[in-house]
Amino acid sequence: MVGAGRRSSLAYGAPVPSPPSITVVGIGADGWSGLGPAARSAIATAHRLFGGRRQLDLVPAADTCAERIVWPSPLRPALAALLAAGAGPVVVLASGDPLVSGIATTIVDVLGIDADVRVLPALSSVALARARMVWPAETTAVVSAVGRDPSALLRELSPGRRILLLSADATTPAAVAALLVDRGHGASRLTILGELGGPGESRLDVTAGELLGDRPQLPALHVLAVVVEPATGGAEPGPGVVPPPASWATGLPDDAFEHDGQLTKRDLRAAALARLAPRPGELLWDVGAGAGSIGIEWSRAHPTCRAVALERDPIRADRIARNARALGVPTLQVVIGAAPAVLDAALPGPPHAVFVGGAVSVPGVLDRCWAALPAGGRLVAHAVTLESERVLIERCSEYGGELIRVAVEHAAPLGGFTGWTPARAVVQYAAVKPHPAVSTTTTAQEISR
């Protein structure tokens, strides 16, 4: 039991009454025969029975008198009102384990952790797929393409990597195969595991390249197992499509991003991200995002890291979205607008960290970003002009933190010899917002240490 009764409201409308007790029952492809006594009892005594058409059809009419309700599409906006629209106990049917990319996760997210929800899981499709492949959990990555962009798989690309992808439908394997082939991983091995645990269970082993060539008929309900083979060259990449490096470390090569010159370069990017310090579940605002490199690398640090890229130029905003998808983080949110006005929009927040790469010298930008941060939040900003340097020096005096000046030189041909070619020096300001009781003043003497 997650909790006891909680009043919830729709994100866009008036409050709705708290729903009655909700039991989420995981049901496998074997249907009613695979359910235990507690699950059967909950279904038999339910007043309303929710689920997809396939799941509802697995429950014999003789075993429940509940009203059967097929989920609408889209589901999430209507979920709270649907569950609260009647009296008596409610049962929600889900595939396998309802807390593995399932409806129970959505219900608790919408209603809150204190909602009166009980979960009775069945074996998840992930567990069944690992059993069929004989893959230990600790060596297997899981990526969901159910209602999501399958390009999230690209973050996991590394030779020998084992990935289980939860497919949306029969078209998902071909989409994944195309992604792999485009990045030179056409020899990667795919296994389509259909109707796991049911009487119609099936298995098809094929390479990504073979799947694109043959286009076989595939089951709609399946899990896709992928073993990544080393890249051997692939299709000629289109504009901005660059094979993503396998490393999750900060400081991807600059040519991993499509850009027009507005890009936080590799060495400075690594220094900025070290101070932004991404952690699981945290949110970044990337203000004046340019090519989106900071927000993208923040998002690559962990699957639960979230980022919003704020960019005033629509052409650059489109480029950021392309870069995010090509580098395996399609969930990065792009917001078009100029700071500081865009900071007053309905952004997700508060942020745990803010990077300001553009608009440093625009009045109000740094102050608005600092105000948005909670205690412990991190602010990093870069300056390349005397005017923007002055702003950072003033903010360092007011907020505390550190100032560093970074100058990078690259070896390059110089006549018949090799010499150093300097890039423009950048001033980096970094600060952690203290708790209110802690002094925020850093003296000039402390800055110079």
pTM: 0.84
Tell whether omega for the bond before 74 is within 30 degrees of 0, i.e. cis.
Answer: yes
Q: What's the average model confidence in pLDDT over 332-342?
A: 94
User: What pLDDT, on the 0 to 100 scale, is given for residue 148?
Assistant: 92
- Fold (topology level) of 126-227: 3.30.950
pLDDT in tens, 197-231: 988 999 999 999 999 988 889 999 999 999 999 98
pLDDT, greater one: 355 or 449:
355
Tell me: pLDDT of 8 over 80: no
pLDDT band at residue 399 using 50, 70 and 90 as cut-offs: very high
Local confidence band at 14 (pLDDT 50, 70, 90 cut-offs): very low
- Tell me how long the chain is: 449
**Do residues 222 and 167 make contact, with C-beta atoms less than 8 angstroms apart?**
yes
Pairwise CA distance, residues 393 & 406, whole Å: 15
Please state whether the peptide bond connecting residue 350 to the residue before it is cis, i.e. omega within 30 degrees of 0.
yes
If you average pLDDT over residues 48-56, what whole number do you get?
94
* Residue 166, token pair as written in the block: 């939860």
Residue 446: pLDDT band with limits 50, 70, 90: very low
Question: Residue 439 pLDDT more than 90?
Answer: no
Average of per-residue pLDDT across 133-151? 95
Instruction: Give the pLDDT mean for 245-265.
Output: 89
pLDDT confidence tier of residue 349, bands split at 50, 70 and 90? confident
What's the pLDDT at 11? 38
Sequence ranges of the domains in the chain: 8-123, 126-227, 254-448
Q: pLDDT category, 114, cuts 50, 70, 90?
A: confident
Give 8-123's CATH code, choosing from 3.40.1010.10, 1.10.150.120, 3.40.50.12280, 3.50.50.60. 3.40.1010.10
User: How high is the pLDDT of residue 236?
Assistant: 46
The overall average pLDDT reported for the chain is 89
Q: How far is CA 237 from CA 240, 307, 329, in A?
A: 8, 26, 18
pLDDT > 90? residue 287 = yes
The arithmetic mean of pLDDT across residues 378-389, rounded, is 96
pLDDT at 209: 95
- On the question of pLDDT at 183 being above 70, the answer is yes
pLDDT band at 18 (very low <50, low <70, confident <90, very high): low
What is the mean pLDDT of the segment spanning 245-255? Answer: 85
Q: What is the model's pLDDT at position 438?
A: 52
Residue, of 146 and 283, whose pLDDT is higher: 283
Q: Which fold has domain 254-448?
A: Rossmann fold (3.40.50)
Calculate what percentage of the chain has a pLDDT beyond 70.
90
| pLDDT mean over 358-378 | 94
Whether pLDDT at 244 is above 90: no
Which of 52-66, 202-216, 238-252 shows the lowest mean pLDDT across its residues? 238-252
When pLDDT is cut at 50, 70 and 90, the band that residue 12 belongs to is very low
Q: How confident is the model at residue 435 (pLDDT cuts 50, 70, 90)?
A: confident
pLDDT of residue 293: 97
Q: What's the pLDDT band for 19 if we cut at 50, 70, 90?
A: low
Percent of the chain surpassing pLDDT 90: 76
pLDDT value at residue 78: 92
Q: Output the pLDDT for position 233.
A: 57
